[in-house]
Amino acid sequence: MKTVKIKSAIPLYLAALIWLLFGLFAPIYELLFIIIAACVSVAVYLVASVFFPGRTVEVDAKPDSGDEAVNAQIAEGRAALHNLREADKAIADEAISARLKRMTDAGGKIFDILEKEPSRAGEVRRFMNYYLPTSDKLLTQYRELDGSGSQGENVRGAMTVVENSLEMIAVAFERQLDSLYRHEAMDIQTDIDVLETMLAADGIRPESKPEETASEKKEEEQAHV
């Protein structure tokens, strides 16, 4: 996600209005009035920009993994995550919101990894083809049911089923993310094993302590006297 600031068009409209007013009530064809109109319109634009600064929105950056097929997958997946975030904003229930946040956080990190390492697309195939689109579909249906205004047994029952499934889905998202760190965990363990082997060759054991210096031994002996 990246943040983009969209400027308001109101300051520009107000500046243009100044020219229109000068054209109606002053001889705008004279140089003096052109200068005055220009100065006033600039001043109006600057002041209006303070009161109407525009808005800041978050948009999904275009994927750049180096693989067009993977880029398309990432873009599609991030669009689905965007829908989940919109559902989070629309649903007031805090428990649902917490689970949706876990899902979108995990999903966002998955796509960040995939963008850096497109060769790992096969590892998230089930996530891409089932977990994420099914979640998107369920939340879309949930919002439709929630907005129907019906409190009937079928509507309430269907909503409850979705609510109860969100914890399971959030865990699935998080486990998929965790599985992508399997290689890193193996690399770390390999490095530790090599380090321990080298230390053992040098006569160093994890439980061993550095040899005491002569002065430290003397101080310890005096302490026991």
Domain spans of the chain? 2-56, 63-185
What is the rounded CA–CA span in Å between residue 85 and residue 97? 9
- How deeply is 134 buried, as exposed, middle or buried, from its count of CB atoms within 10 A (0-12, 13-18, 19+)? middle
Is the full-model pTM beyond 0.75? Answer: no
Q: Would you call 6 helix, strand, or coil by DSSP?
A: strand
Give Cβ neighbours of residue 81 (< 8 Å, ≥ 6 apart). 104, 107, 108, 111, 132
Nearest CA-CA partner of 170 in 123, 135, 128, 139: 135
Contact 173, 127 (CB under 8 A): yes
Residues 93-130: b if buried by 16+ CB within 10 A, e if exposed: eeebeebbebbbebbbbbbebbbeebeebebbeebbee
Query: Residue 110 and residue 175: Cα distance in Å, rounded?
Result: 11
Q: Could you give the 3-state DSSP secondary structure of residue 132?
A: helix
Backbone angles phi, psi at 60, to 5 degrees: -80, 125
Are the CB atoms for 96 and 163 separated by under 8 Å?
yes
What pLDDT, on a 0 to 100 scale, did the predictor assign at position 225? 47
DSSP secondary structure letters along 22-80: HHHHS-TTSHHHHHHHHHHHHHHHHHHHHH---EEEEEPPPP-SS-HHHHHHHHHHHHH
Q: pLDDT in tens for each of the 225 residues of the chain?
A: 555 466 788 888 888 998 888 888 888 788 888 899 899 999 999 998 888 887 665 555 677 778 888 899 899 999 999 999 999 988 888 999 999 999 999 999 999 999 999 998 899 899 999 999 999 999 999 999 988 888 889 999 999 999 999 999 999 999 999 998 877 766 787 778 778 778 777 777 666 455 555 555 555 555 554
